[in-house]
Amino acid sequence: MLKHSAPVRSVCYSSDGQFVVTGSADTTAQVWDAHSGLAIGNRLTQNGEVKSGCFSPDGQRVVTSCADATARIWDARTGQPLTPPLKHNAVVWFAQFSPDGRWIITGSGDSTARVWDAHNGLPACEPMHHDDQVVSGQFSVDGRWIVTAGGKAARVWQLAPDQPFSLQFLHNAHTGKFSADGQRLLTSSADGTARIWDARTGQALISPLKHGRGVNTASFSPDGQRIATASADGTARVWDARSGEPLIQPLKHEAEVNAAVFDLAGQRIVTCSDDNTARVWDARTGQPLTPPLRHQREVNRSEFSPDGRWVVTGSYDNTARIWDAATGQPLSEPLKHKQGVVWATEFSADGRRLLTASMDNSACLWDVRTGQTLLEFKHMAIVTDAHFSPDGLWVATASFDGTARVWDARTGQPTSPPLKHGGRVETVEFSADSRRLATASRDGVVRIWDVRSGQMLAGPFKHYG
């Protein structure tokens, strides 16, 4: 049991899975041996609630962010601070290393994100300004781009190639996605446009792809030749990714379109909308391929199964539905939970099963072909999180009833007694090898468990104020 004396705000494995860092409202973070549960080095003590903690890529350092308006860099083995505090003017919501470990990005309630030299703690550039708190940020894999997000907007920045470290603001964007070859960046924005940028130079490659209202999502086709956009103007559109010219007539809904997604072959697009429908279209002609896929309320998610034969939709009407992607016919009755919003859906890797989690105190595993409930994973209160293990053998659930559970994904039997906490369990996370599970709860405790036996592998991890 990895224990804090107040709610745990974050838990993160090192890249090699040997260590865990936890951050807590008790004003401390701690590095632990993920196998023995022994504390590594001193407690990382700050002057306020610790909002996040993560390791550097090489696992030698930890960066934490805190409500005391600072982030701090620590030696992961000794717990000693390595640099002066990285100072903002308000709570620091997150801190993260770049992929090469040279830089750290932080985001704050002072409406800025900042980049720091990870070795000396000095600012690397001028602050990146937002109109609201900056609550998340991420480097691209090659470290040349940064996306920051806060309020209702995200912003995309590029490291200027001709200077040691400076940033150029590119687009007030909702989303940013790279092409498969990494040469282009696609952004979508509340300004009613999507834009394509050269990922090496930051230059706009074509004119903006314009809608009448904000663009909610934009994505490349699998071959990178086309782009699908979804907009609050009630349409989705398909564009030539090289010229920016529209290829087909707009794909029309009666209300805001929340997403537009290609299938893996790039032949079809599925859209979902606040008009209570999802729709499947021919991506080359824009012709509807099926009747509307109808729910009783707004449809906020839709995607093809891995093999492209099915579409799953999720709605505020408390159901998920699986449809034949060729005919638009439902494969079964709606996948209903007893009550409450279905707020999570996940296909298994082979596309044969669907996992849903709900406010009705259960997670359910469904047969995609028949819509029959294969298994039901019951708790005594709301299920907050549910995931397949990476190898597909297990399902983990987290609940307000103060427990997490690991279940055999084939039989539905629990692999062990409940994994108990003293307060509601917020999250569950499998290790990459599917052998361990980390759980975090409102009682200030993080625990790491053996998936097969339910035995605690590490803990208790105790903090005392």
Task: Please name the amino acid found at residue 104.
Answer: I
Tokens representing 261 are 């997604």
Contact 213, 231 (CB under 8 A): yes
Global pTM value: 0.60
Starting at the earlier edge strand, list the strands of the sheet with 319-324.
Answer: 299-304, 310-315, 319-324, 335-336
pLDDT value at residue 153: 63
Per-residue model confidence (pLDDT) at position 176: 63
One DSSP character per residue, 396-417 reads EEEETTSEEEEEETTT--BSSS
Report yes or no: 1 and 460 within 8 Å, Cβ to Cβ: yes
CATH architecture of 19-29+42-379+393-419: 7 Propeller (2.130)
CB 62 within 8 A of CB 74: yes
In whole angstroms, what is the distance from residue 249 CA to residue 45 CA?
58
Residues in contact with 436: Cβ distance below 8 Å, sequence separation at least 6, in sequence order: 17, 34, 430, 448, 449, 450, 451, 457
Low-confidence ranges of the chain (pLDDT < 70): 1-3, 151-154, 159-176, 178, 182, 199-202, 340, 442-446, 458-465
Question: CA 452, CA 409: separation in Å to the nearest integer?
Answer: 12
Instruction: Give, for 240, the enclosing helix (H) or strand (E).
Output: strand 235-240
Tokens of 125: 């550039």
Residue by residue, DSSP assigns 39-100 as EEEEEEE-SS-EEEEEE-TTSSEEEEEETTSEEEEEETTT--B-S--EE-SS-EEEEEE-TT
CB 165 within 8 A of CB 115: yes
Residue 8 CB burial class (10 angstroms; 0-12, 13-18, ≥19): buried
Residue at 293: amino acid letter: L
Sign of CA dihedral 235, 239, 244, 248: negative
Q: Hey, where are the domains in the chain? A: 19-29+42-379+393-419
pLDDT for the residue 174:
59
Question: Cα separations (Å) of 265 from 140, 261, 268, 372?
Answer: 26, 11, 8, 28
CA-based diameter of the chain, in Å?
64
